[in-house]
Amino acid sequence: MNDTILKLTNVESYYGPIMAIRGISLEVARGQIVALLGANGAGKTTVLKTISGILDPQKGTIEFRGQPIQRMEANRIVAMGLSHVPEGREVFPFLSVRENLMMGAFLRRDRDGVAADLERVYGYFPRLRERLQQPAGQLSGGEQQMLAIGRALMNRPTLLLLDEPSLGLSPLLVKEIFAIIRRVNEEQGTSILLVEQNAKVALETAHYGYVMEVGRVVMNDSCARLLNSRDIQEFYLGAKEAGARGERRWKKKKTWR
């Protein structure tokens, strides 16, 4: 892969004695959207936390923009241009929408650039402009997701990590949020690593995909090819036609061909 912005090699991370990721290797090319799929508990969130420095890997290397970051503090990684939108948004509920957005720019000193980026975020999410002075805790789930993405964009990231942006949102809002994710990628050239349970929307949005199972990558390919894979299609059908039953089938599946 040419012009790799992020490269993980044999990364292992633990929660106490529990090994949550077991030798993950993956790459994100500059300007690419990469999807990370897998059942609940496969280790997707742990991969993102390990990249952004919330967790220290026990083994392996993580290169971001050509520099090793596996021992770097999280705020230095943010300063290098990596923003992480965590699962469940984690907006500051008692701060206003504007204050939340400004928290995303806390390392920046270029006031004109910050003002321009605020305008850009309002352009992507006009609803945030309408609610600038409102405490973030009063926003709907969809608006909080917009705010969490907007806050991450205020760091003007080269790489954006998105953890389950569709979680708990209506299909209409999911469509809206993913259209913005595509626009950010196309207009700003931002590389994106996207963790999603909604495999269909993720594979239709991303360029390349990795599938994880029990802490390991079991499949990786272009999204066009993954969409045609029998295993992936089986999951879609299960998910589409049988709802929760499909989710159970995905969880029970032991191997990927």
Contacting residues toward ligand ATP, per CB under 6 A: 15, 18, 20, 38, 40-46, 87, 197
Q: How far is the CB of 35 from ligand ATP (least distance, A)?
A: 13
Q: Which is nearer to ligand ATP, 125 or 210 (CB)?
A: 210
* Complex with ligand ATP: residue 46 or 145, whichever CB lies closer: 46
Shorter beta-carbon distance to ligand ATP: residue 55 or 69: 55
Comparing CB distances to ligand ATP, the nearer of 111 and 244 is: 244
State in angstroms the smallest separation of the CB of 110 from ligand ATP: 35
Measure the CA dihedral 143/147/72/36, to 10°: 40
Supply the minimum distance, in Å, between the C-beta of residue 163 and ligand ATP.
7
The nearest distance, CB 126 to ligand ATP, in angstroms, is: 30
At a CB cut-off of 8 Å and minimum separation 6, what does 148 contact? 85, 86, 89, 90, 91
Q: Which amino acid is present at 75?
A: N
Q: Which residue has the tokens 């050509």?
A: 66
Cβ-based nearer residue to ligand ATP, 13 or 158: 13
- Token code pair at residue 61: 């290397």
* Closer residue to ligand ATP, CB minimum distance, 55 or 78: 55
CB of 169 to ligand ATP, least distance (A): 15
Kindly provide the b/e burial profile for residues 138-171, where b requires at least 16 CB atoms within 10 angstroms of the residue's own CB.
ebeebbbbbbbbbbbbbbbbbbbbbbbbbbebee
* Strands 208-213 vs 67-68: parallel, antiparallel or unpaired: unpaired
| Least Å from the CB of residue 76 to ligand ATP | 23
Residue 98 or 216 with smaller CB distance to ligand ATP: 216
CB of 107 to ligand ATP, least distance (A): 26
